[in-house]
Structure 1
Amino acid sequence: MLTSIITANTPRDINYTNKIDNKEVMRPMTDPEIRGIISDGIIAGTDSTANTISFIVYYLAHYPDVKKKMLNEIDRIFQDDKTRPITENDIHNLKRLSMAN
């Protein structure tokens, strides 16, 4: 993606053409424009993740019965060893986890 942004409207761009009369349209992007696009991508990704986590925490706070079921499921899967690494099998067995996706 970064290469596509940097090479846009330059002879290295696969869509580049010299036939457009408006040179302002065909100019390469400036460094601040490239930084802005990359920042937007990073912020958009983290913002949606933060919103999802906030919603899940809010939901669990308002529905303690659901929270209790979720915690019981975690206890059932991990039993007394809550420090072991999570396996793919654990993820498949955590049914309430898939409900949060």
Structure 2
Amino acid sequence: MTKRLHDRRAELQGLTASSEDQRRPVELDQTRVGRLSRMDALQVQAMSLETERRRSIELNRIEAALDRIAEGDYGYCLLCGDDIAVKRLEFDPTATTCISCARETEHKN
């Protein structure tokens, strides 16, 4: 799991670096860019910002999972303390709850 988490973290960090230009502020000089081009640029920027927000959340989850591994707490549900099923961790190595607690939490929301 550790290698998989490290690999995914490196991939996300690379994507963040390569998409930096798309998140920069859009130039509003009408003499240089037409109205539709500006609208397209604003839309691309908004989508890039949202993608980066989601990447950041995933990176935080990965860091938390790596911390749990280092502390010896990985694989245990943060709510009930039971083991998290191996298949669940294989599907999502950043999972913090067992399936029972995840379902219970989902029903409360």
TM-score normalised over the length of structure 2: 0.39
Does 1 or 2 have the higher relative contact order (CA < 8 Å, sep 6+)? 2
